[in-house]
Amino acid sequence: MPNKGSEPTVIAEKTKQSSILIVDDQLSLLHSLQALLEINGYRVALATGGREAIKKLQNGNYQLLLLDLQMPGIDGLEVLEFVRKEKLDLETIVVSGDTSFISIKDAMRLGAYDFIRKPYNSEELLATVSQGIEHYRQKRELLQAESSLGESEQLHRFIVNNSPDFIYMLDNQGIFTYVNDMVEELLGYKRNELLGCHFSSIIHPHNAAEIHNFFSEHRTGNRAPRSIEIRLLVNQSNDRVEGLDNSELIVELNAIGIYQDKEFIGTLGSARDISIRKFSEENISYQAYHDLLTQLPNRILFDDRMNQALARAGRNGKKIAMLFMDLDRFKLINDTLGHVMGDLVLQQVSGRILDCLRAEDTLARFGGDEFCLLLPDISSKESVAAVAEKILKAVRQPFRINNHELYLSLSLGVAIYPEAGKTGEALLHNADIAMYHIKENGKDGYCFYTHTMGNHSHFLPVEQDLHSALEKGQFQVFFQPKVNPSNHMIVGMEALLRWQHPERGLLYPEDFIAAAESSKLMIPIGDWILRRVCEEVVRWQKQGMSAVKVSLNISLVQLRQIDFVERFIRALQEFNLQADLFEIEISEYGLNNGEQNMAKKLRILSDYGVSVTIDSFGRSHSSLSYLQSFPVNTLKIDRSFVREIEEGKNQNCIANGIAMMAKGLNLNVVGSGVENLHQLDYLRNLGCNEVQGYLYSEAISAQETLNLLENRPSEGPHFRLPH
């Protein structure tokens, strides 16, 4: 039989070694977590779905339940419903992957003790598990004390005065006749200060009248309401009030009427402090709808406000302006000064733009250096132009950050409802087109979308230049070293495309790859990259260099070509190169959205000897099931997660979870974007066998790469780092 909360007995032997049930439908993660907990002394049982979990809960005794929410069939919330309905005596920790924040809040309302987000930090998970077990143990000790005291008056006094809840009794006029000791800790009132007073003295005046009346509940039995949220006033004159956080306390109230010979004689109630839970729910909601770097609304919240503004504009015949903004040459700041400086710049830019706006305007960050601004109820096109000019002027003012003086500018596109679009999607798209028009015509300015812009793809000028670049040999292949973090030896090179534009200078892939893929020029460009890389590998071999594996980034457009595999293998054979010298990197998004024939192509290449790496792993919110469908050898941790690793801070970053998962799946791990020694040491301790980043070298030209590989040939090419 399951262990019910109503059973008072506690068997001490069962708590000596805690028993945990883990519920998750992903077997690899399930076994990885089992190994971690068993190493730390816990007894572990497994369930691969909600139905199996309920069966094991019915037949076993567990102190802790680690529960995934998203599962086929019976999901995690239904399991929590079962636990609550059956009054099972255990603590539940939700281990959430792609679960929505709303689901997490629902789980907490159903009685979950805590939650951990996937991929989890092993130290954080173990600490949370330990706290959950300790919380369970304390509850059982209290039950044991209750059992030993029996039904005596001492039992009642012990239970009431040691309860974490504020317990009270009122007479039939609403006067306090009893309050327990907890009232002073929660509200700052001494017991004798409330006895004889009317309950309204501690009720927050903003509580609705019906909520107010619940405190002096007359109903009894099933007719009495349960778990009503209400605000109580904190005693501001008590010396202890300095330790309390606010002038009010949010509590969960339960109360029933007391009758004697069918005559109402008063109310018995209890109020539980739920301020921590409310804070957690508010924090979760805030994270769901805001960009945590700038504290601005994110795309979800922006879309909601945009839809509301569109609905009002449709009813009232008003106009709306959508402004799409992109910082000019922001990548140069990240590349030269690092991403920490880039983040500080983004924070200051958002602050300056906010200073130019009205209270009803909404500024959001969509990611990177892209911002979007919604101006509802605009009076004229001229008023929007005035706002755009004000923003541009504010951003042009020098930024002084960490002894650096920086000068920035914005490219800004404007779309007006309803002329430039009648839906949010259309307005955003057309504002983006207008912004790109500014980018192509000198940057640092704004323009309004016109229908003549919409008649031509905003990639068209780039596509025309790409054709010319192929014909005139303007493309170059740069290489960035991959390094063993233990001995600093170069173990590989990543081939990266650069475009030496005759007018715009050296361009990076993000400046033109989208246009190349849109026009299918990515196919001949990809063929050119592969042949150019083969030529360099042959050149290294002729110079007597040690074998160095080279990785190439492959786009979905290339993979979808029927003869992609044949062309790839034919190129290696033409240059008489071994397949195990090559590695292809595919974006996580590409793998998750790939067709079955894509998996087949990758298996053919893998069988031929070419390695497969998932690039920028962890950025997609996709299912991890593709890891079992594709012949993956390596996971590359995205540079954005490496930036989270900061010295002097408790690490709770996604890199830990990725490394743990890779270990469980027997995959290699590469850390990208390493900029300092602390990040290097951290990734090495996580088990990364390769890293790359500016700490060692940025991407360099083919000739500079050859010079680097020739360095110290007797020991092999390597770096020396300061200690």
Report yes or no: 133 and 63 within 8 Å, Cβ to Cβ.
yes
Higher pLDDT, 709 or 618: 709
The C-alpha atoms of residue 59 and residue 56 are separated, in whole angstroms, by: 5
The C-alpha atoms of residue 164 and residue 148 are separated, in whole angstroms, by: 20
Average pLDDT, the chain: 82
Return the CATH number of the domain spanning residue range 12-149: 3.40.50.2300
Report yes or no: 187 and 166 within 8 Å, Cβ to Cβ.
yes
Report yes or no: 47 and 27 within 8 Å, Cβ to Cβ.
no
Residue 245's pLDDT is what?
Answer: 52
The C-alpha atoms of residue 499 and residue 700 are separated, in whole angstroms, by: 13
> How confident is the model over 158-188, as pLDDT tens digits?
556 667 788 899 999 999 999 988 888 888 8
> How confident is the model over 348-361, as pLDDT tens digits?
999 999 999 999 99
Tell whether the model's pLDDT for residue 150 goes beyond 60: no
* Mean pLDDT confidence for 144-165: 60
Tell whether the model's pLDDT for residue 153 goes beyond 70: no
> How confident is the model over 463-474, as pLDDT tens digits?
778 888 998 999
Residue 584's pLDDT is what?
Answer: 95
> How confident is the model over 290-342, as pLDDT tens digits?
888 899 998 888 988 999 999 999 888 889 999 999 998 888 887 778 888 88
- Range list for CATH 3.30.70.270 in the chain: 292-458
The C-alpha R_g of the chain, in whole angstroms, comes to 32
Residue 11's pLDDT is what?
Answer: 34
> How confident is the model over 375-392, as pLDDT tens digits?
999 988 889 999 999 999
Which two tokens mark 294?
A: 């700038």
Q: pLDDT grade, residue 414 (50/70/90)? A: very high
Question: pTM of the full predicted structure?
Answer: 0.44
> How confident is the model over 567-599, as pLDDT tens digits?
999 999 999 999 999 999 987 655 554 456 778
* Mean pLDDT confidence for 397-410: 88
The C-alpha atoms of residue 242 and residue 62 are separated, in whole angstroms, by: 41
| One CATH from 3.30.450.20, 3.30.365.10, 3.40.50.720, 3.40.190.290 for 163-279 | 3.30.450.20
Report yes or no: 638 and 617 within 8 Å, Cβ to Cβ.
yes
Higher pLDDT, 285 or 294: 294
The C-alpha atoms of residue 133 and residue 203 are separated, in whole angstroms, by: 36
Higher pLDDT, 353 or 120: 353
Residue 456's pLDDT is what?
Answer: 44
Which two tokens mark 691?
A: 């890293």
- Range list for CATH 3.40.50.2300 in the chain: 12-149
Q: How many residues does the chain have?
A: 723
Taking domain 474-635+690-709, whether its CATH number is 3.40.50.1370 is answered by: no
* Mean pLDDT confidence for 499-527: 83
The fraction of the chain above a pLDDT of 90, given in percent, is 29
- Angle, alpha carbons 600-601-606 (nearest 5°): 95
Residue 112's pLDDT is what?
Answer: 85
Residue 720's pLDDT is what?
Answer: 66
The fraction of the chain above a pLDDT of 70, given in percent, is 85
Residue 10's pLDDT is what?
Answer: 38
* Mean pLDDT confidence for 411-429: 90
- Give rounded-to-5 percent helix, strand, coil for the chain: 45, 25, 30
Strands 399-401, 404-406: parallel, antiparallel or unpaired by DSSP?
Answer: antiparallel
Residue 715's pLDDT is what?
Answer: 52
Could you write out the three-class secondary structure of 80-139?
HHHHHHHCECCEEEEEECCCCHHHHHHHHHCCCCEEEECCCCHHHHHHHHHHHHHHHHHH
Residue 244's pLDDT is what?
Answer: 47
Residue 162's pLDDT is what?
Answer: 62
- Range list for CATH 3.30.450.20 in the chain: 163-279
Alpha helices in 625-668 (DSSP H): 626-629, 639-642, 654-664
Residue 658's pLDDT is what?
Answer: 80
- Range list for CATH 3.20.20.450 in the chain: 474-635+690-709
Return the CATH number of the domain spanning residue range 292-458: 3.30.70.270
> How confident is the model over 1-44, as pLDDT tens digits?
445 444 433 333 433 467 999 999 888 888 888 988 988 889 99
Identify which of 85, 71, 57 has the alpha carbon closest to the alpha carbon of residue 25: 71
The C-alpha atoms of residue 108 and residue 67 are separated, in whole angstroms, by: 12
Residue 582's pLDDT is what?
Answer: 96
SS3 667: coil
